[in-house]
């Protein structure tokens, strides 16, 4: 079978890569072509566009780059027509992927969506449109099954790929020694995000936290798809270390964490790290999001739990003083994340997704 996958960010790249491995176990002749990243390239197949070229986030940031996005959409459509895949697998990245889903439906391609768009957060009516465009929806959050039932759509909960990745990671016991992290201070992990806009807004506040709390040691997780200058001057602080390519080892050893809202909040929780969730963006993007987002929380931890397990400091509340106070609170009174593991269950997401995809392709032959 010929599989065409589209992942538009770092986490999607990781989860798509694991799905590709699982598909290959069931379909040894599998051929892959994709918009993706380094994780997918390591599995094999042909990379068309790297996600770092199109990782725009926020209403204003997307608006500024509409021309570039249209070019990538055109390129993707033409490439699909040329490749003629047996199935197109869309991985999160709703703004781009829903346009491709409409194109694919028009041209008779089978469409699978792995990691549902977050339509439950805002503009829930889009679920009706998505139902018309997608042949098979594979969800990674348990509550999404009930959400889609409102629209008379039977979707599948396949387990959560973050939980799968955490359970599959082998912790490096020598992590602290390798990065020269002192053993006599609490270690505070900082996960500032994987998109340039996020990091650019969050790190200036984090630098204030670092300079004001010399009795803690901070380790900032860098990502290699962003310009190195974004992280400039962090190493000038004697109580700060920058880490690249070892985020899970960092979380495994951290005493607390400052985490930008996104997948990383769930990763930190599954590593049982007390955390404070932060988020800051351009004023324009923030005001639009505040007007349209309909859910009470922004972090996956709180959304899955259905209540506030972790403190969320958003935009004007995202200050050095409030972050410091909440980190200190979490060190004293850490959140209990056990109910998250119960909610997510034991399914291995990539394998369950691969099973459902291949079974559906065989049925429709």
Span 216-225, mean pLDDT?
A: 92
Whether residues 146 and 229 fall in one domain? no
Whether residues 155 and 226 fall in one domain? no
Q: Is residue 357 part of a domain?
A: yes
Name which of 17-21, 146-150, 223-227, 297-301 the model is least confident about: 223-227
pLDDT at 62 over 70: no
| Residue 158: partners with Cβ closer than 8 Å, 6 or more residues away | 114, 138, 139, 140, 347, 349, 352, 353, 356
Read off the CATH number of the domain in which 202 is found.
3.40.50.2000
Name which of 118-132, 153-167, 258-272, 341-355 the model is least confident about: 118-132
Whether residues 325 and 351 fall in one domain? no
Q: Is residue 27 part of a domain?
A: yes
Span 51-66, mean pLDDT?
A: 62
Q: How confident is the model at residue 243 (pLDDT cuts 50, 70, 90)?
A: very high
Whether residues 297 and 181 fall in one domain? yes
Q: Residue written as tokens 């608006």?
A: 63
Whether residues 247 and 129 fall in one domain? no
Q: What is the pLDDT of residue 109?
A: 97
Structural domains counted in the chain = 2
Q: Is residue 111 part of a domain?
A: yes
Whether residues 323 and 215 fall in one domain? yes
Whether residues 184 and 314 fall in one domain? yes
pLDDT at 292 over 70: no
Q: Is residue 164 part of a domain?
A: no
DSSP three-state, residue 31: strand
Whether residues 35 and 94 fall in one domain? yes
Instruction: Give pLDDT tens digits for 271-280.
Output: 999 999 999 8
Percent of the chain with pLDDT over 90: 72
Span 117-146, mean pLDDT?
A: 89
Q: Is residue 142 part of a domain?
A: yes
DSSP state of 36: E
Whether residues 189 and 273 fall in one domain? yes
The CA angle 251-53-98, to the nearest 5 degrees, is 90
Q: What is the pLDDT of residue 63?
A: 57
pLDDT at 235 over 90: no
Q: What is the pLDDT of residue 56?
A: 54
Span 258-271, mean pLDDT?
A: 94
- Of residues 348 and 290, the one with the higher pLDDT is 348
Q: Where are the beta strands (DSSP E) in the chain?
A: 2-7, 31-36, 46-50, 87-91, 111-114, 136-139, 156-157, 187-191, 217-222, 240-244, 256-260, 275-279, 311-314
- Of residues 35 and 306, the one with the higher pLDDT is 35
Q: Is residue 255 part of a domain?
A: yes
**Domain housing 153:** 2-159+347-363
Candidates 305, 322, 303; CA nearest to 314 is 322
Whether residues 302 and 356 fall in one domain? no
Q: What is the CA radius of gyration of the chain?
A: 20
Q: Is residue 32 part of a domain?
A: yes
pLDDT at 259 over 70: yes
Q: What is the pLDDT of residue 225?
A: 75
Whether residues 110 and 189 fall in one domain? no
Span 224-233, mean pLDDT?
A: 86
pLDDT at 61 over 50: yes
Q: What is the mean pLDDT of the chain?
A: 91
Q: Is residue 165 part of a domain?
A: no
């Amino acid at each position: 079978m010929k599989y065409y996958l589209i992942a538009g960010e770092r986490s999607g790249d990781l989860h798509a890569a694991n799905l590709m491995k699982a598909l290959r176990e069931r379909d040894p002749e599998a051929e892959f072509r994709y918009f993706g990243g380094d994780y997918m390239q390591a599995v094999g197949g042909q990379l068309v566009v790297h996600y770092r070229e199109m990782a725009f986030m926020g209403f204003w940031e997307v608006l500024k780059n509409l021309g570039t996005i249209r070019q990538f959409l055109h390129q993707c459509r033409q490439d699909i027509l040329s490749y003629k895949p047996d199935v197109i697998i869309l991985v999160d990245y709703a703004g781009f992927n829903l346009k491709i889903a409409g194109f694919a439906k028009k041209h008779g391609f089978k469409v699978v969506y792995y990691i549902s768009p977050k339509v439950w957060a805002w503009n829930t009516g889009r679920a009706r449109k998505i139902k018309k465009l997608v042949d098979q929806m594979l969800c990674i959050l348990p509550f999404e099954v009930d959400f889609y039932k409102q629209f008379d759509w039977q979707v599948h909960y396949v387990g959560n790929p973050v939980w799968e990745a955490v359970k599959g990671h082998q912790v490096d016991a020598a992590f602290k020694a390798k990065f020269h992290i002192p053993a006599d201070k609490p270690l505070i992990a900082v996960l500032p995000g994987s998109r340039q806009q996020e990091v650019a807004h969050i790190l200036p506040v984090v630098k204030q936290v670092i300079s004001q709390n010399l009795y803690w040691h901070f380790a900032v997780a860098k990502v290699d798809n962003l310009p190195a200058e974004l992280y400039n001057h962090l190493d000038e602080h004697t109580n700060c270390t920058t880490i690249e390519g070892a985020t899970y080892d960092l979380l495994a050893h951290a005493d607390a964490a400052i985490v930008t809202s996104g997948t990383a909040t769930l990763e930190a929780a599954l590593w049982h790290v007390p955390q404070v969730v932060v988020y800051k963006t351009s004023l324009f993007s923030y005001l639009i999001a505040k007007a349209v987002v309909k859910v009470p929380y922004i972090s996956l931890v709180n959304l899955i739990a259905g209540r506030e397990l972790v403190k969320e400091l958003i935009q004007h509340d995202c200050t050095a003083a409030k972050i410091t106070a909440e980190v200190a609170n979490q060190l004293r009174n850490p959140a209990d994340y056990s109910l998250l593991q119960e909610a997510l269950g034991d399914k291995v997401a990539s394998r369950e997704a691969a099973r459902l995809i291949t079974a559906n392709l065989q049925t429709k032959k």
